[in-house]
Protein backbone atom coordinates (compact mmCIF):
# COMPACT_ATOMS: atom_id res chain seq x y z
CA UNK A 1 0.00 0.00 0.00
CA UNK A 2 1.35 3.37 -0.98
CA UNK A 3 1.57 6.21 1.47
CA UNK A 4 1.47 9.86 0.36
CA UNK A 5 4.51 11.22 2.09
CA UNK A 6 7.74 12.90 1.23
CA UNK A 7 11.16 11.31 0.90
CA UNK A 8 13.79 12.50 3.35
CA UNK A 9 16.58 12.17 0.85
CA UNK A 10 15.01 14.68 -1.47
CA UNK A 11 15.06 17.25 1.29
CA UNK A 12 18.83 17.33 1.21
CA UNK A 13 18.60 19.10 -2.10
CA UNK A 14 17.25 22.13 -0.30
CA UNK A 15 20.56 22.76 1.47
CA UNK A 16 22.08 26.01 0.36
CA UNK A 17 23.76 29.09 1.71
CA UNK A 18 22.02 32.30 2.44
CA UNK A 19 23.70 35.68 2.74
CA UNK A 20 24.10 37.38 6.08
CA UNK A 21 21.78 40.10 7.20
CA UNK A 22 21.98 43.81 7.66
CA UNK A 23 20.43 45.65 10.55
CA UNK A 24 17.31 47.52 9.61
CA UNK A 25 16.47 50.95 10.82
CA UNK A 26 12.93 51.90 11.59
CA UNK A 27 10.47 54.02 13.43
CA UNK A 28 9.99 53.34 17.16
CA UNK A 29 6.61 51.90 17.96
CA UNK A 30 5.38 54.96 19.83
CA UNK A 31 5.50 56.84 16.57
CA UNK A 32 3.35 54.36 14.67
CA UNK A 33 0.04 55.88 13.70
CA UNK A 34 -2.67 55.25 11.20
CA UNK A 35 -4.73 58.15 9.97
CA UNK A 36 -8.01 56.46 9.16
CA UNK A 37 -10.12 53.84 10.80
CA UNK A 38 -11.34 50.67 9.27
CA UNK A 39 -15.10 50.35 9.55
CA UNK A 40 -15.76 48.34 12.70
CA UNK A 41 -19.15 47.05 11.56
CA UNK A 42 -18.25 45.88 8.07
CA UNK A 43 -19.30 42.32 8.87
CA UNK A 44 -22.63 43.21 10.47
CA UNK A 45 -25.75 42.00 8.69
CA UNK A 46 -29.52 41.91 9.01
CA UNK A 47 -30.15 38.52 10.53
CA UNK A 48 -33.54 36.77 10.62
CA UNK A 49 -33.38 34.17 13.37
CA UNK A 50 -36.77 32.72 12.51
CA UNK A 51 -40.47 33.36 11.92
CA UNK A 52 -43.13 31.86 14.18
CA UNK A 53 -46.90 31.73 14.30
CA UNK A 54 -49.74 29.33 15.13
CA UNK A 55 -52.21 30.14 12.39
CA UNK A 56 -55.78 29.35 11.36
CA UNK A 57 -57.75 30.69 8.40
CA UNK A 58 -59.48 33.55 10.10
CA UNK A 59 -58.84 37.22 10.88
CA UNK A 60 -56.18 38.75 13.17
CA UNK A 61 -53.60 36.00 12.90
CA UNK A 62 -50.21 36.82 14.38
CA UNK A 63 -46.78 36.14 12.91
CA UNK A 64 -43.61 37.10 14.77
CA UNK A 65 -40.39 37.78 12.89
CA UNK A 66 -37.40 37.36 15.18
CA UNK A 67 -34.42 39.42 14.08
CA UNK A 68 -30.99 39.38 15.64
CA UNK A 69 -30.77 41.90 18.45
CA UNK A 70 -27.86 43.49 16.63
CA UNK A 71 -29.67 43.97 13.36
CA UNK A 72 -31.56 47.13 14.37
CA UNK A 73 -34.05 46.47 11.60
CA UNK A 74 -35.50 49.28 9.47
CA UNK A 75 -39.14 48.48 10.18
CA UNK A 76 -40.38 50.35 7.12
CA UNK A 77 -38.33 48.08 4.89
CA UNK A 78 -40.23 44.99 6.05
CA UNK A 79 -43.30 45.78 4.00
CA UNK A 80 -41.09 46.52 0.98
CA UNK A 81 -39.29 43.19 1.34
CA UNK A 82 -41.87 40.70 2.61
CA UNK A 83 -44.45 38.95 0.42
CA UNK A 84 -46.76 36.35 1.98
CA UNK A 85 -48.36 34.02 -0.54
CA UNK A 86 -50.90 31.28 -0.87
CA UNK A 87 -49.49 28.02 -2.24
CA UNK A 88 -50.78 25.09 -4.22
CA UNK A 89 -49.36 21.81 -5.45
CA UNK A 90 -46.49 21.80 -7.93
CA UNK A 91 -46.42 19.60 -11.01
CA UNK A 92 -44.15 17.10 -9.27
CA UNK A 93 -42.33 16.52 -6.00
CA UNK A 94 -39.08 18.05 -7.27
CA UNK A 95 -40.54 21.43 -8.31
CA UNK A 96 -41.18 24.27 -5.87
CA UNK A 97 -44.76 24.79 -4.70
CA UNK A 98 -46.87 26.89 -7.04
CA UNK A 99 -47.17 30.46 -5.80
CA UNK A 100 -50.70 31.89 -5.54
CA UNK A 101 -52.16 35.22 -4.53
CA UNK A 102 -50.46 37.56 -2.09
CA UNK A 103 -51.90 37.73 1.43
CA UNK A 104 -52.17 41.25 2.93
CA UNK A 105 -50.71 42.02 6.35
CA UNK A 106 -49.94 44.94 8.63
CA UNK A 107 -47.18 45.53 11.16
CA UNK A 108 -48.83 45.41 14.55
CA UNK A 109 -46.07 45.66 17.11
CA UNK A 110 -42.33 46.06 17.49
CA UNK A 111 -40.79 44.71 20.65
CA UNK A 112 -37.00 44.80 20.69
CA UNK A 113 -35.87 42.56 17.89
CA UNK A 114 -39.29 40.92 17.47
CA UNK A 115 -41.75 42.33 14.94
CA UNK A 116 -45.35 41.08 15.05
CA UNK A 117 -47.54 41.07 11.94
CA UNK A 118 -51.32 40.91 11.80
CA UNK A 119 -52.75 38.85 8.94
CA UNK A 120 -56.25 38.23 7.72
CA UNK A 121 -56.11 34.59 6.67
CA UNK A 122 -59.75 34.20 5.67
CA UNK A 123 -58.43 33.93 2.12
CA UNK A 124 -55.99 31.14 3.00
CA UNK A 125 -56.61 28.56 0.31
CA UNK A 126 -54.45 25.75 1.65
CA UNK A 127 -52.66 24.59 4.78
CA UNK A 128 -49.28 26.11 3.89
CA UNK A 129 -48.22 29.70 3.20
CA UNK A 130 -44.89 31.09 2.02
CA UNK A 131 -43.02 34.07 3.43
CA UNK A 132 -40.43 35.57 1.10
CA UNK A 133 -38.05 38.34 2.16
CA UNK A 134 -36.41 40.13 -0.78
CA UNK A 135 -32.76 40.66 0.14
CA UNK A 136 -32.53 43.79 -1.98
CA UNK A 137 -35.24 45.51 0.08
CA UNK A 138 -34.80 44.47 3.72
CA UNK A 139 -32.37 46.75 5.55
CA UNK A 140 -31.17 47.74 9.00
CA UNK A 141 -29.39 50.68 10.63
CA UNK A 142 -30.93 53.25 8.32
CA UNK A 143 -30.20 51.35 5.15
CA UNK A 144 -26.57 50.56 5.88
CA UNK A 145 -26.83 46.78 6.40
CA UNK A 146 -28.86 44.00 4.82
CA UNK A 147 -29.27 40.22 4.62
CA UNK A 148 -26.39 37.84 3.89
CA UNK A 149 -28.43 34.65 4.00
CA UNK A 150 -25.96 32.66 1.90
CA UNK A 151 -23.15 33.64 4.25
CA UNK A 152 -20.62 34.63 1.60
CA UNK A 153 -19.86 38.02 3.09
CA UNK A 154 -21.65 39.98 0.33
CA UNK A 155 -24.84 41.58 1.57
CA UNK A 156 -28.16 42.09 -0.19
CA UNK A 157 -27.54 39.89 -3.22
CA UNK A 158 -30.52 39.35 -5.48
CA UNK A 159 -31.74 35.79 -5.02
CA UNK A 160 -28.65 34.55 -3.15
CA UNK A 161 -29.60 36.33 0.06
CA UNK A 162 -33.40 36.06 -0.23
CA UNK A 163 -34.98 34.42 2.81
CA UNK A 164 -37.86 31.95 2.49
CA UNK A 165 -39.80 30.29 5.27
CA UNK A 166 -43.09 28.40 5.44
CA UNK A 167 -45.89 28.30 8.00
CA UNK A 168 -48.84 25.95 8.43
CA UNK A 169 -52.45 27.13 8.54
CA UNK A 170 -55.20 25.03 10.09
CA UNK A 171 -58.68 25.09 8.63
CA UNK A 172 -58.41 25.15 4.84
CA UNK A 173 -59.78 22.05 3.16
CA UNK A 174 -56.89 21.88 0.69
CA UNK A 175 -53.57 20.29 1.61
CA UNK A 176 -50.36 21.26 -0.16
CA UNK A 177 -48.56 17.98 -0.64
CA UNK A 178 -46.74 18.01 -3.97
CA UNK A 179 -43.56 20.05 -4.38
CA UNK A 180 -40.64 21.43 -2.40
CA UNK A 181 -39.85 24.62 -0.57
CA UNK A 182 -37.84 27.32 -2.33
CA UNK A 183 -34.24 27.62 -1.20
CA UNK A 184 -31.70 29.74 -3.06
CA UNK A 185 -29.03 28.80 -0.52
CA UNK A 186 -29.17 25.06 -1.22
CA UNK A 187 -25.77 24.39 -2.76
CA UNK A 188 -24.58 21.81 -5.26
CA UNK A 189 -23.56 19.04 -2.90
CA UNK A 190 -20.12 17.77 -3.84
CA UNK A 191 -18.33 15.45 -1.46
CA UNK A 192 -14.64 14.78 -1.80
CA UNK A 193 -13.54 11.22 -1.26
CA UNK A 194 -9.86 12.03 -1.44
CA UNK A 195 -6.99 9.99 -2.78
CA UNK A 196 -6.88 6.23 -2.90
CA UNK A 197 -4.18 3.94 -4.15
CA UNK A 198 -5.43 1.17 -6.37
CA UNK A 199 -2.45 -1.02 -5.60
CA UNK A 200 -1.70 -1.25 -9.28
CA UNK A 201 -0.61 1.05 -12.04
CA UNK A 202 -3.04 3.85 -11.24
CA UNK A 203 -4.12 5.97 -8.31
CA UNK A 204 -7.42 7.78 -7.96
CA UNK A 205 -9.13 10.86 -6.68
CA UNK A 206 -12.90 10.69 -6.19
CA UNK A 207 -15.61 13.36 -6.08
CA UNK A 208 -19.26 12.49 -5.60
CA UNK A 209 -22.24 14.66 -6.52
CA UNK A 210 -24.58 13.81 -3.66
CA UNK A 211 -28.15 13.86 -5.06
CA UNK A 212 -29.82 12.06 -2.19
CA UNK A 213 -32.17 14.96 -1.47
CA UNK A 214 -33.44 17.70 -3.71
CA UNK A 215 -31.31 16.76 -6.72
CA UNK A 216 -32.28 13.10 -6.79
CA UNK A 217 -33.59 13.35 -10.31
CA UNK A 218 -30.41 14.85 -11.76
CA UNK A 219 -28.79 12.13 -13.86
CA UNK A 220 -27.07 14.48 -16.28
CA UNK A 221 -23.34 14.24 -17.04
CA UNK A 222 -20.98 16.37 -14.95
CA UNK A 223 -17.71 14.96 -16.27
CA UNK A 224 -16.82 18.04 -18.32
CA UNK A 225 -17.52 20.47 -15.49
CA UNK A 226 -15.49 18.48 -12.97
CA UNK A 227 -12.67 17.96 -15.48
CA UNK A 228 -12.56 21.72 -15.86
CA UNK A 229 -12.29 22.32 -12.13
CA UNK A 230 -10.26 19.54 -10.54
CA UNK A 231 -6.48 19.86 -10.60
CA UNK A 232 -4.27 17.19 -9.04
CA UNK A 233 -0.72 18.18 -8.19
CA UNK A 234 2.38 16.46 -6.85
CA UNK A 235 4.88 18.13 -4.53
CA UNK A 236 8.58 18.64 -5.15
CA UNK A 237 10.28 19.12 -1.73
CA UNK A 238 13.50 20.44 -3.26
CA UNK A 239 11.79 23.47 -4.78
CA UNK A 240 8.70 23.73 -2.54
CA UNK A 241 6.62 23.64 -5.66
CA UNK A 242 3.60 21.80 -7.02
CA UNK A 243 3.20 20.38 -10.53
CA UNK A 244 -0.05 19.34 -12.20
CA UNK A 245 -0.54 15.63 -12.79
CA UNK A 246 -2.29 14.42 -15.95
CA UNK A 247 -5.39 12.36 -15.22
CA UNK A 248 -8.25 10.72 -17.06
CA UNK A 249 -11.73 10.62 -15.62
CA UNK A 250 -15.11 8.94 -15.63
CA UNK A 251 -18.49 10.17 -14.38
CA UNK A 252 -21.29 7.81 -13.40
CA UNK A 253 -24.66 9.48 -14.09
CA UNK A 254 -26.36 6.91 -11.87
CA UNK A 255 -24.29 7.34 -8.72
CA UNK A 256 -22.88 10.82 -9.31
CA UNK A 257 -19.35 9.50 -8.77
CA UNK A 258 -16.47 11.18 -10.61
CA UNK A 259 -13.17 9.29 -10.59
CA UNK A 260 -9.91 10.87 -11.75
CA UNK A 261 -7.22 8.26 -12.44
CA UNK A 262 -3.52 8.91 -12.87
CA UNK A 263 -0.28 6.95 -13.05
CA UNK A 264 0.56 5.03 -9.92
CA UNK A 265 2.71 7.12 -7.64
CA UNK A 266 6.24 6.44 -6.54
CA UNK A 267 6.38 5.57 -2.85
CA UNK A 268 6.50 8.78 -0.84
CA UNK A 269 5.09 11.15 -3.45
CA UNK A 270 2.86 13.84 -1.99
CA UNK A 271 -0.32 14.92 -3.76
CA UNK A 272 -2.99 17.50 -3.27
CA UNK A 273 -6.24 18.34 -5.06
CA UNK A 274 -7.42 21.82 -6.01
CA UNK A 275 -10.64 23.23 -7.44
CA UNK A 276 -10.47 26.05 -9.97
CA UNK A 277 -13.26 27.66 -12.01
CA UNK A 278 -15.61 27.11 -9.11
CA UNK A 279 -18.25 29.36 -10.66
CA UNK A 280 -18.75 26.67 -13.33
CA UNK A 281 -19.76 24.08 -10.76
CA UNK A 282 -23.53 24.49 -10.92
CA UNK A 283 -26.36 22.02 -11.42
CA UNK A 284 -27.64 21.52 -14.96
CA UNK A 285 -31.21 22.24 -13.87
CA UNK A 286 -32.99 24.22 -11.17
CA UNK A 287 -33.87 22.50 -7.92
CA UNK A 288 -35.90 24.05 -5.09
CA UNK A 289 -36.51 26.94 -7.48
CA UNK A 290 -32.87 27.73 -8.21
CA UNK A 291 -29.86 26.40 -10.07
CA UNK A 292 -27.66 25.10 -7.28
CA UNK A 293 -24.06 26.20 -7.05
CA UNK A 294 -21.09 24.63 -5.35
CA UNK A 295 -19.91 28.09 -4.31
CA UNK A 296 -22.43 30.78 -3.36
CA UNK A 297 -19.77 33.44 -3.61
CA UNK A 298 -20.08 35.70 -6.64
CA UNK A 299 -17.18 37.92 -5.73
CA UNK A 300 -14.31 35.62 -4.85
CA UNK A 301 -14.76 32.66 -7.19
CA UNK A 302 -11.58 33.63 -8.98
CA UNK A 303 -9.71 32.08 -6.08
CA UNK A 304 -8.74 28.44 -6.20
CA UNK A 305 -9.62 26.10 -3.40
CA UNK A 306 -7.42 23.39 -2.01
CA UNK A 307 -9.91 20.61 -1.35
CA UNK A 308 -7.53 17.90 -0.21
CA UNK A 309 -4.15 18.75 1.20
CA UNK A 310 -1.41 16.35 2.19
CA UNK A 311 -1.25 15.07 5.73
CA UNK A 312 1.02 16.71 8.27
CA UNK A 313 2.76 13.45 8.99
CA UNK A 314 3.97 13.37 5.42
CA UNK A 315 6.54 16.09 5.97
CA UNK A 316 8.29 15.18 9.18
CA UNK A 317 11.23 13.76 7.28
CA UNK A 318 12.39 17.14 5.96
CA UNK A 319 15.18 18.10 8.37
CA UNK A 320 15.50 21.65 7.09
CA UNK A 321 11.94 22.59 7.89
CA UNK A 322 11.32 23.69 11.43
CA UNK A 323 8.51 21.78 13.06
CA UNK A 324 5.31 23.61 13.82
CA UNK A 325 6.16 23.49 17.52
CA UNK A 326 9.60 24.99 16.85
CA UNK A 327 8.17 27.72 14.68
CA UNK A 328 5.62 28.63 17.30
CA UNK A 329 8.32 28.60 19.99
CA UNK A 330 10.46 30.98 17.97
CA UNK A 331 7.65 33.47 17.34
CA UNK A 332 6.06 35.44 20.15
CA UNK A 333 3.34 37.57 18.63
CA UNK A 334 1.32 40.38 20.16
CA UNK A 335 -0.75 43.31 18.97
CA UNK A 336 0.05 46.90 19.82
CA UNK A 337 -1.58 50.17 18.97
CA UNK A 338 -0.64 53.81 19.02
CA UNK A 339 -2.16 56.67 20.97
CA UNK A 340 -5.91 56.46 21.38
CA UNK A 341 -6.03 53.09 19.68
CA UNK A 342 -5.16 54.75 16.41
CA UNK A 343 -2.61 52.71 14.63
CA UNK A 344 -2.40 48.96 14.82
CA UNK A 345 0.75 46.94 14.53
CA UNK A 346 1.87 43.41 15.11
CA UNK A 347 4.89 42.97 17.34
CA UNK A 348 6.96 39.85 16.82
CA UNK A 349 9.64 38.81 19.30
CA UNK A 350 11.86 36.20 17.71
CA UNK A 351 13.95 33.82 19.78
CA UNK A 352 15.84 31.32 17.66
CA UNK A 353 17.81 29.97 20.63
CA UNK A 354 14.94 27.55 21.18
CA UNK A 355 15.79 25.86 17.92
CA UNK A 356 19.58 26.11 18.24
CA UNK A 357 20.06 28.51 15.39
CA UNK A 358 22.26 31.57 14.98
CA UNK A 359 19.32 33.78 14.18
CA UNK A 360 16.91 34.92 11.55
CA UNK A 361 17.92 35.86 8.07
CA UNK A 362 16.32 39.25 8.32
CA UNK A 363 16.48 39.80 4.59
CA UNK A 364 13.88 37.10 4.21
CA UNK A 365 11.36 38.93 6.38
CA UNK A 366 9.28 40.33 3.54
CA UNK A 367 5.55 40.72 2.86
CA UNK A 368 5.82 37.80 0.46
CA UNK A 369 7.25 35.47 3.09
CA UNK A 370 5.36 36.66 6.14
CA UNK A 371 1.66 37.38 5.65
CA UNK A 372 -0.91 38.78 8.04
CA UNK A 373 -4.40 37.58 7.18
CA UNK A 374 -7.58 38.81 8.80
CA UNK A 375 -10.36 36.27 9.11
CA UNK A 376 -13.82 37.49 8.10
CA UNK A 377 -17.03 35.87 6.97
CA UNK A 378 -15.70 36.31 3.44
CA UNK A 379 -12.59 34.27 4.22
CA UNK A 380 -9.04 35.46 4.55
CA UNK A 381 -8.31 39.07 3.76
CA UNK A 382 -4.69 40.00 3.42
CA UNK A 383 -3.48 43.01 5.39
CA UNK A 384 -0.37 44.53 3.82
CA UNK A 385 2.26 45.62 6.32
CA UNK A 386 5.44 47.61 6.50
CA UNK A 387 8.36 47.12 8.83
CA UNK A 388 8.28 50.10 11.17
CA UNK A 389 10.69 49.05 13.88
CA UNK A 390 13.39 46.48 14.36
CA UNK A 391 15.82 45.71 17.15
CA UNK A 392 18.64 43.21 16.90
CA UNK A 393 21.37 42.31 19.36
CA UNK A 394 24.87 41.76 17.96
CA UNK A 395 26.02 39.77 20.96
CA UNK A 396 23.00 37.52 21.16
CA UNK A 397 21.63 37.39 17.65
CA UNK A 398 19.47 34.38 18.33
CA UNK A 399 17.40 36.36 20.82
CA UNK A 400 16.23 39.93 21.11
CA UNK A 401 15.07 40.14 17.55
CA UNK A 402 12.04 42.37 17.67
CA UNK A 403 10.02 43.32 14.64
CA UNK A 404 7.07 45.67 14.47
CA UNK A 405 4.91 45.32 11.40
CA UNK A 406 2.42 48.14 10.90
CA UNK A 407 -0.68 47.64 8.86
CA UNK A 408 -0.84 50.02 5.96
CA UNK A 409 -4.58 49.64 5.59
CA UNK A 410 -6.98 51.38 7.91
CA UNK A 411 -7.63 49.14 10.85
CA UNK A 412 -8.74 49.72 14.39
CA UNK A 413 -8.85 47.35 17.30
CA UNK A 414 -12.27 46.01 16.40
CA UNK A 415 -12.29 42.55 17.87
CA UNK A 416 -11.56 40.65 14.68
CA UNK A 417 -8.95 37.95 14.54
CA UNK A 418 -5.86 37.61 12.42
CA UNK A 419 -3.48 34.83 11.56
CA UNK A 420 0.21 35.13 10.77
CA UNK A 421 1.47 32.94 7.94
CA UNK A 422 5.12 32.13 7.33
CA UNK A 423 6.20 30.74 3.99
CA UNK A 424 9.09 28.49 2.96
CA UNK A 425 11.30 31.37 1.90
CA UNK A 426 11.37 32.73 5.42
CA UNK A 427 14.79 31.48 6.58
CA UNK A 428 17.14 31.23 9.50
CA UNK A 429 20.90 31.79 9.24
CA UNK A 430 21.80 28.22 10.10
CA UNK A 431 23.20 26.19 12.96
CA UNK A 432 25.09 27.63 15.90
CA UNK A 433 28.33 26.00 14.85
CA UNK A 434 28.33 28.25 11.83
CA UNK A 435 27.69 25.46 9.42
CA UNK A 436 24.73 26.07 7.23
CA UNK A 437 22.21 24.95 6.03
CA UNK A 438 19.65 27.46 7.00
CA UNK A 439 16.31 26.19 8.08
CA UNK A 440 13.04 27.31 6.65
CA UNK A 441 9.63 28.17 8.01
CA UNK A 442 6.28 27.19 6.64
CA UNK A 443 4.89 23.87 5.59
CA UNK A 444 3.16 22.47 2.52
CA UNK A 445 0.65 20.97 4.91
CA UNK A 446 -0.43 24.40 6.12
CA UNK A 447 -1.97 26.29 3.28
CA UNK A 448 -4.05 29.41 3.34
CA UNK A 449 -6.41 27.69 0.99
CA UNK A 450 -7.27 29.91 -1.89
CA UNK A 451 -4.53 29.95 -4.38
CA UNK A 452 -1.42 28.15 -5.47
CA UNK A 453 0.67 31.23 -4.80
CA UNK A 454 0.05 30.80 -1.09
CA UNK A 455 1.18 27.22 -0.73
CA UNK A 456 3.75 26.26 1.80
CA UNK A 457 2.65 28.61 4.52
CA UNK A 458 2.17 27.82 8.15
CA UNK A 459 0.00 29.72 10.59
CA UNK A 460 2.03 30.85 13.55
CA UNK A 461 0.84 31.47 17.04
CA UNK A 462 -1.07 34.59 16.17
CA UNK A 463 -4.11 32.35 15.91
CA UNK A 464 -6.78 33.96 17.99
CA UNK A 465 -4.86 37.19 18.49
CA UNK A 466 -7.22 40.11 18.27
CA UNK A 467 -6.95 43.21 16.19
The residues that touch Ca ion, with contacts defined as CB under 5 A, are 148, 150, 152, 154, 157, 160-161, 296, 298
CA distances from 403 to 334, 337, 346, 392 (A): 11, 14, 8, 9
CA distances from 234 to 148, 262, 354 (A): 37, 11, 33
Task: Using the minimum distance from each CB to Ca ion, give the nearer residue, 159 or 264.
Answer: 159
CB of 77 to Ca ion, least distance (A): 17
Task: Using the minimum distance from each CB to Ca ion, give the nearer residue, 2 or 132.
Answer: 132
Task: Using the minimum distance from each CB to Ca ion, give the nearer residue, 184 or 256.
Answer: 184
CB of 301 to Ca ion, least distance (A): 10
Task: Using the minimum distance from each CB to Ca ion, give the nearer residue, 161 or 203.
Answer: 161
CA distances from 442 to 34, 197, 334, 371, 374 (A): 30, 28, 20, 11, 18
Pairing of strands 55-56, 163-170: parallel
Distance in angstroms (rounded) separating the CA atoms of residues 205 and 227: 12
Task: Using the minimum distance from each CB to Ca ion, give the nearer residue, 146 or 321.
Answer: 146
Task: Using the minimum distance from each CB to Ca ion, give the nearer residue, 136 or 400.
Answer: 136
CB of 277 to Ca ion, least distance (A): 17
The distance from CA 412 to its chain's CA centroid, rounded to whole angstroms, is 23
Is the alpha carbon torsion for 91, 95, 101, 104 positive or negative?
positive
Contact 318, 326 (CB under 8 A): no
CB of 298 to Ca ion, least distance (A): 5
Task: Using the minimum distance from each CB to Ca ion, give the nearer residue, 55 or 275.
Answer: 275
Task: Using the minimum distance from each CB to Ca ion, give the nearer residue, 148 or 233.
Answer: 148
Q: Give the closest residue to 242 by CA, choosing from 232, 228, 252.
A: 232
Shortest-Cβ-distance residue relative to Ca ion: 160
Pairing of strands 290-293, 282-287: antiparallel
Distance in angstroms (rounded) separating the CA atoms of residues 48 and 113: 10
Contact 292, 282 (CB under 8 A): yes
Distance in angstroms (rounded) separating the CA atoms of residues 33 and 341: 9
Residues contacting residue 239 through CB under 8 Å, at least 6 positions apart: none
CB of 153 to Ca ion, least distance (A): 7
Residue 279 phi/psi, 5-degree rounding, is -65, -20
CB of 378 to Ca ion, least distance (A): 9
Task: Using the minimum distance from each CB to Ca ion, give the nearer residue, 293 or 358.
Answer: 293
CB of 284 to Ca ion, least distance (A): 20
CB of 159 to Ca ion, least distance (A): 8
CB of 154 to Ca ion, least distance (A): 4
CB of 287 to Ca ion, least distance (A): 17
- Exposed (0-12), middle (13-18) or buried (19+): which is 336, by Cβ within 10 Å? middle
Task: Using the minimum distance from each CB to Ca ion, give the nearer residue, 288 or 387.
Answer: 288
CB of 263 to Ca ion, least distance (A): 39
CA distances from 90 to 95, 213, 290, 328, 411 (A): 6, 17, 15, 58, 51
Distance in angstroms (rounded) separating the CA atoms of residues 42 and 376: 9
Distance in angstroms (rounded) separating the CA atoms of residues 195 and 233: 12
State the Cα angle at 67 between 66 and 72, rounded to 5°. 140
CB of 90 to Ca ion, least distance (A): 26
Task: Using the minimum distance from each CB to Ca ion, give the nearer residue, 67 or 205.
Answer: 67
Task: Using the minimum distance from each CB to Ca ion, give the nearer residue, 233 or 295.
Answer: 295
Distance in angstroms (rounded) separating the CA atoms of residues 423 and 452: 12
Amino acid sequence: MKIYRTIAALALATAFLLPGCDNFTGTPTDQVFLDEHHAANENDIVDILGVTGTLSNTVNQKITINFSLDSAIDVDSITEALTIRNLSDAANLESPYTQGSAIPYTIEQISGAAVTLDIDLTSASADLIELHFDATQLTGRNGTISLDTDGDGVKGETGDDDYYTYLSVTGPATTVSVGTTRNPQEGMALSFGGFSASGGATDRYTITYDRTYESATDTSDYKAKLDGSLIIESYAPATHSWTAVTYTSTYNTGTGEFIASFSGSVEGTVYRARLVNRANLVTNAAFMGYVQRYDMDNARVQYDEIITGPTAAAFTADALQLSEAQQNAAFNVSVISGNGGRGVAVKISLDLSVVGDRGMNLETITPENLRIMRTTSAGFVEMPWTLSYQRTNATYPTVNNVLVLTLDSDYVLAGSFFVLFAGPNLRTLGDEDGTPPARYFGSPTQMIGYGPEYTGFISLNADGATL
